[in-house]
Amino acid sequence: MLDERDKKWLTYAAKLAIKGRGRVHPNPMVGCVLVKGNRMVGEGWHQEYGSNHAEVVATTNAQADAIGSTAYVTLEPCNHEGKTGPCSEHLIKVGVKKVVFAASDPGVAAAGGAKRLKEAGIEVRGPVDDFSLGEGVDPAFFYSARYERTYLALKLAVSKDDKIAETVGVRTFLTGEQANTEVHRIRSGFDGIVVGANTLRADDPFLTVRELPYEPRLPPARIVISSDGDLCIQSNLFGSIGRSPVLVIAGETTSASSINRLRSAGAIVEVVKCVGKRVDLVESLQVMWEKGLKSVMCEGGAELAQAFCALDLAQRLYLFRTGRILGPKAVPVFSKGSLPWNSNLWEQRGNEVNFGEDVLTIYDRER
Ligand code: AOF
Ligand code: ZN
């Protein structure tokens, strides 16, 4: 069990880690705090892909105070010469006395830091049995490394009574400005944003990352799942094709002329098999993995989200709930099956957070 003190500092390190969102992936977000007695003497996080790791930033920040301190890190210090030197050797060199880390490094090359530190006589604790302090800080990194599959998150916005629209096919704006900005921040941490063809038709979204004080290092690719490839190319998505790639995953019945039309408009098109009339979602995720997309977020529609849940392919849910009640005649978010937030297969991660009138709750699929 973690004692309160260790928990407090690891919680703080986890907060620091997510400041790297949008700038470090496919590397993990990592935070590090150096503590002496009850005093924090240094802090840092991995800020930029290819640049210093969290431990190096924190020890540089602490300067001579690093000597004899305890390092709290959300990830096991790396033990390899990558784009930077091994953090294990660095912590030994600067004289850290003890290391507490939350999650083991799943990478074959980078692993082994804990062992190396122990060999050098440093007291080491970790991994700790608390998902939210370690793997939960950057679940996509651990999931994709462990399973070699694309990590899929869902974003849904619902009314207080779990409805998504007043009437079928008509977009109902549910969330306010602050929640929408938060969606852009969440988007910035993913390799891709997925929507179904109906959502593209109904909402005409850009699916780009905007309205943030930083630009994502790699703007997420935009992925449309369409059974027949019949997409409007006079849309905001195709109009902004220079901003980030568009990948269309089209069902096997898509005609050659539709494929050519989409390719001429600048899209990458991949054809997958269908299950009934619907695109095979397992194969769709495989295509995303082969394209190098380690993490994607599906933003609509609810039908696609439901299909992903029915196949148990989703790992995380970002649920925005508004204060509005749409009433019994409105469209329910899922037509059948248990809602993830009412099912014991899903676990709430952290506390609810308010964005203006709206509330964000994160749920993780328990594995
Ligand atoms: C740490 N601290 O802050 C991070 C770690 O190519 P490099 O040198 O940037 O190394 C990337 C790998 O190092 C990455 O895949 C992961 O295993 C680990 N990331 N390790 O000790 C950090 N970001
Ligand atoms: Zn490192």
What pLDDT is attached to residue 85? 92
What pLDDT is attached to residue 337? 80
Q: How far apart are CA 188 and CA 186, in angstroms?
A: 5
- The overall pTM is greater than 0.85: yes
Q: How far apart are CA 150 and CA 147, in angstroms?
A: 8
Q: What are phi and psi of 286, to 5 degrees?
A: -65, -40
What pLDDT is attached to residue 82? 86
Distance 25 CA to ligand 1 centre (A): 10
303 is catalytic: no
- To test ligand 1's pocket by mutation, which of 16, 27, 48 has the most ligand atoms within 8 angstroms of CB? 27
What parts of the chain have a pLDDT lower than 50?
Answer: none
What string of H, E and C letters represents the secondary structure of the chain?
A: CCCHHHHHHHHHHHHHHHHHCCCCCCCCCCEEEEEECCEEEEEEECCCCCCCCHHHHHHHHHHHHHCCCEEEEEECCCCCCCCCCCHHHHHHHHCCCEEEEEECCCCCCCCCHHHHHHHCCCEEECCCCCHHHCHHHCHHHHHHHHHCCCEEEEEEEECCCCEEECCCCCCCCCCCHHHHHHHHHHHCCCCEEEEEHHHHHHHCCCCCCCCCCCCCCCCCEEEEEECCCCCCCCCHHHHCCCCCCEEEEEECCCCHHHHHHHHHCCCEEEEECEECCEECHHHHHHHHHHCCCCEEEEEECHHHHHHHHHCCCCCEEEEEECCCCCCCCCEECCCCCCCHHHCCCEEEEEEEEEECCEEEEEEEECC
Does residue 43 have its Cβ closer than 6 Å to ligand 1?
Answer: no
Nearest Cα to Cα of residue 5 among 115, 112, 96, 100: 100
Does residue 78 have its Cβ closer than 6 Å to ligand 1?
Answer: yes
Domains and CATH numbers, the chain: 4-138 (3.40.140.10), 149-365 (3.40.430.10)
- Dump pLDDT digits (tens) for 150-185: 999 999 999 999 999 898 877 788 999 999 999 999
- Dump pLDDT digits (tens) for 288-345: 999 999 999 999 889 999 999 999 999 999 999 999 999 999 999 998 888 999 999 9
Distance 31 CA to ligand 1 centre (A): 11
What pLDDT is attached to residue 326? 94
What pLDDT is attached to residue 196? 97
What pLDDT is attached to residue 214? 93
Which entry of 4, 43, 48, 55 is annotated as an active-site residue?
55
